[in-house]
Amino acid sequence: MKVGIVENYREVEIFCGTGGVGKTTISTSRAFFLASQKKNVLLITIDPAKRLRQLLSLKDASEVIKFTDKEISFDVLLLDPKTSFEKILGKKVDNKILENLTSSRGGLNEILAVLEIQNQLETKKYDSIVVDTAPGKNFLDFLNSSNKINKFFNKTFADAFMYITNKNKPGRFFNRIITAGIEKFLNYLESVTGKGFINDFLEAITILYENRDKFIEGIKVEKVLNSAQRSRWYLVTSAEHMKEVETQQILDSIQAQMTTERYLIINKSWYNNLASWEPKTEKMKEFKDIIIKQEEIKTSISKKSQIEAITFPDLSTFDPIKQLEELEEHWK
């Protein structure tokens, strides 16, 4: 089956892989291709790196922006965890702990990405949402986001935190603690952690739990991500990167948690070019054998896991738009 056939696009298409394999470029080329077929496309990047900004010459932006090149146009969202979090809450966040948690490396990035995808699906504006995930093992956090939300908002914990913070009483949190024993304990913790930390901590927990229903509602997207009719997963690796173990681990994680359609993409491949190349020297023959062996190792991953491998060539241009145009042709 050719995944580039227009009728085969999915409502959500997710690209993952180890760092440095061209994942962002490949996922952007997919959005580029679908947009060329007159589909309404949103490209979301969870990866805090600057590659997508460079590729599309975008300014930093935390809201959906429009990318246009000649007749091709699609929406782009450079995911900003804090902006997404404040969108969910419907207000600005003024809490040191929550500000740290919603930084690009703060721990809520993948969870908020899942909620953002759900929010965008609910708009029914797009034919396809293409997702560029964080590299390597950070991707596993994306897969586990629904479980983390469910565990964090377990009703027992929710009741306990609401009891401690006693949200029905006015004033700051240390005025709301309902037992002298708890107050003494928290005062002791504050002497260890520094002034204001416990208050900020309780305030952060309360804000999260007051918005519990919004988080729980957001993980409905898991059904979409695990539906072969609505989503597709691409694991991107590179012929020039010897990261077979990590690549296999990510693939195993996808297969263990998702039953949806999935593909292995081997990027920067010289295999087809090398097949007809006849080196004149022993050193060049050795070089050819090494490159072919690397690509065959990657192909063996797809055979072992019984998923289709798609090959993309190494690019002959440094111009970002021309790169996308070259790659677009290989989706057809």
pLDDT tens digits, one per residue of 135-155 = 876 666 677 777 777 777 766
What CA dihedral angle connects 10, 14, 20 and 22, to 10 degrees?
Answer: 10
Structure token pair of residue 18? 């180890």
Distance CA 124, CA 69 (A): 24
pLDDT at 167 over 60: no
pLDDT at 35 over 80: yes
How far apart, in Å, are the Cα atoms of 204 and each of 27, 101, 111? 35, 10, 16
Report, as an integer, the average pLDDT of 19-27: 89
Domain range list for the chain: 6-151+220-329, 152-215
pLDDT at 65 over 80: yes
Better-scored residue on pLDDT, 139 or 170: 139
pLDDT band at 277 (very low <50, low <70, confident <90, very high): confident
pLDDT at 174 over 50: no
- Strands, sheet with 41-45, edge to edge from the N-terminal-most edge strand: 65-69, 72-78, 41-45, 128-132, 12-17, 231-238, 261-269, 309-313
Report, as an integer, the average pLDDT of 267-277: 74
Mean of per-residue pLDDT scores for the chain:
78
pLDDT band at 194 (very low <50, low <70, confident <90, very high): low
61-75, 295-309, 315-329: segment of lowest average pLDDT: 295-309
Better-scored residue on pLDDT, 124 or 329: 124
Question: For the residues of 197-235, what is the DSSP string, one character each?
Answer: HHHHHHHHHHHHHHTHHHHHHHTTHHHHHT-TTTEEEEE
pLDDT at 196 over 50: yes
pLDDT at 86 over 60: yes
Can you tell me which residue has the tokens 């107050």? 183
Task: Determine the pLDDT at residue 228.
Answer: 85
Distance CA 201, CA 174 (A): 11
Report, as an integer, the average pLDDT of 184-202: 67
Distance CA 14, CA 231 (A): 8
Report, as an integer, the average pLDDT of 177-191: 58
Task: Determine the pLDDT at residue 93.
Answer: 80
Structure token pair of residue 106? 């703060």
pLDDT at 241 over 80: no
Return phi, psi of residue 166, to 5°: 45, 65
Report, as an integer, the average pLDDT of 311-331: 87
pTM of the full structure: 0.80
Sequence length of the chain is 332
pLDDT at 28 over 70: yes
* Highest CATH level, class, for 6-151+220-329: alpha beta
